[in-house]
Each structure stands twice: as C-alpha cells, then as structure tokens.
Amino acid sequence: MPGKLRLTRRMVYDVLHVVVLLLSILLVVGISVDTFKDIAFYNQPRFLKLQLMVCLFFLLDFFVEFFMSDRKRHYLWTHAVFFFVSIPYQFLISYFNIELPPELNYILRFAPLTRGGYALAIVIGWFTSNRVTGMFITYLLILVSTLYFVSMSFYVVEHNINPGVENYLDALWWACMEMTTAGSSINAITPAGRFLGFFMACFGLMIMPMMTVYISSLIKRHGSILDDDSQKPSVSPEATADSSETDNSDKTNGTKP
C-alpha cells in the first residue's frame, strides 16, 4: 500500500509540473505578443484575467504539494519563494487601484514565471539520464530565458526614450554584451534600464563560470577516454595466428596416448 501511495503521489506531482510548465509558456507568449505590438498589456483586462488564472493554479499546485508532503516544515522552508511569486500581484494592483511606475508593472509580469522555471528543470530531468548533463541543459535554458526576458524589459523601458534602442534586436544585442561583461555601445538612460544592466553583469559573472566548468570537464573526460583507448595493446593478425597454432599444437600433444 505505501508503494502504491508513493506512485500515486509521484503521478500527481508530474501532472502538476507539466501543467505549470504549459501555463508558463502560455503566459510568456501573451507577454511577448503584446510587447512586440507595443500594447500596454498590464492595463488590459484580458491579460489580467490570464495572469490571475495562471497564478491561482500555481497556488493550487503549491498547496497540493504541501499537503501531500511528508515533511511539511521542510517543504515550506524550501518552497516558500514559489508561494510569493505565485501571488497575482498585477491583478491585486489593478483591483485596489494602486499606482506604480509602468516599468515596475512590466517587470512584475515575470514573477510567476519563476515557478515555471522550476517545473522546467524537473521536466528536463525526465529526459536526461546523466545528472551533470541535465544540470547543464537547465543552466543553458535559464541563460536563454533570462536573456530573453531582460532584453524585452529593456526594450519596453528604453525604446521610446533611448535613441540607441530602435527595435527589439538592439535590446537583445545590449543584453548579450552586458551579460558577457564586455559592455555595449548602447547606454541605458532610465533607472530601470541601468538596474537591468547591473543585473545582467552580475548574472553573467555567475552563469558563465558554470558553463565553462562543464565544457572543460567534458573535454577532459573525452580526452581521458581517448588516452585509455590509445594505451590498450593492439594485437596484430600474425600474433593471433601464431597463438592459434600454439593452442592447436598443445591440444594435439595433450591428446596423444
């Protein structure tokens, strides 16, 4: 019975994680489409309803996993951040008519996606038998996702003010250069843009060493395998034939009366 209960619990977790991931993708698509159409979607009832629906399911997922957990205090300690990022802040801000800067309103759109990133890491683990490879793919997706979200945020806060940001590709180039800490020729003008530049520089300093360590260890492991193969003694066909003749003669001598 405990084994069956454990299996049922695992199936519930897996289904919840897949739905969380799909809802996160839906939220990203909604944000991206409205951003590129230059629509102030944080004031749109359609987007607010979408975010409310997604956040309510994230909260449901949090409480279901909490009540199914055997170590509830440990779960709260390790998953508390997922509760706070699942709160529908934008819906509450609109409902209570709280005035916030548009840039901050935009950045709050991405808070629930943190929950989706955790679900993505779990789903990746299903398809990777090697733990190190799974971690590398997770880091790579985190890098691409952060690059995309930060570049979109920079585009929103700078494209009507900064003459260097004429389209999204300019913002993407800026984010790439800031992440490599090389710096970009596009200088942020708004306080939010400068903060995003500082964030990308810190993010690059953290994520780049992880990527290089994995790649260097992979090359080292591959080189050691090649060295082991080269050190194995090779057997020539002549030696094999001589050995076969010796074995046959030994067998013949052994069968003589």
Q: Over the stretch 119-151, which tens digit does the pLDDT of each residue have?
A: 777 777 666 666 667 777 878 888 888 899 889
For residue 178, how many other CB atoms are within 10 A of its CB?
Answer: 26
**Among all chains, which residue has been given the structure tokens 């102030």?**
40
Contact call for residues 179 and 204 (beta carbons, < 8 A): yes
Contact call for residues 145 and 209 (beta carbons, < 8 A): no
For residue 203, how many other CB atoms are within 10 A of its CB?
Answer: 19
Q: Is the pTM of this model over 0.85?
A: no
- Helices 191-231, 168-179: inter-axial angle, 10-degree rounding: 60
Confidence of residue 233 (pLDDT cuts 50, 70, 90): low
Separation between Cα atoms, residue 230 and residue 89, nearest integer Å: 61
Residue whose C-alpha is closest to residue 197's, from 162, 151, 143, 159? 151
Contacts of 62 (CB under 8 A, 6+ apart): 79, 82, 83, 86
Q: Over the stretch 30-56, which tens digit does the pLDDT of each residue have?
A: 888 877 776 554 556 777 888 899 999
Question: Nearest-5° angle of CA 83, CA 89, CA 90?
Answer: 145
Separation between Cα atoms, residue 22 and residue 6, nearest integer Å: 25
Give the architecture (CATH level 2) of 130-225. Answer: Orthogonal Bundle (1.10)
Contacts of 144 (CB under 8 A, 6+ apart): none
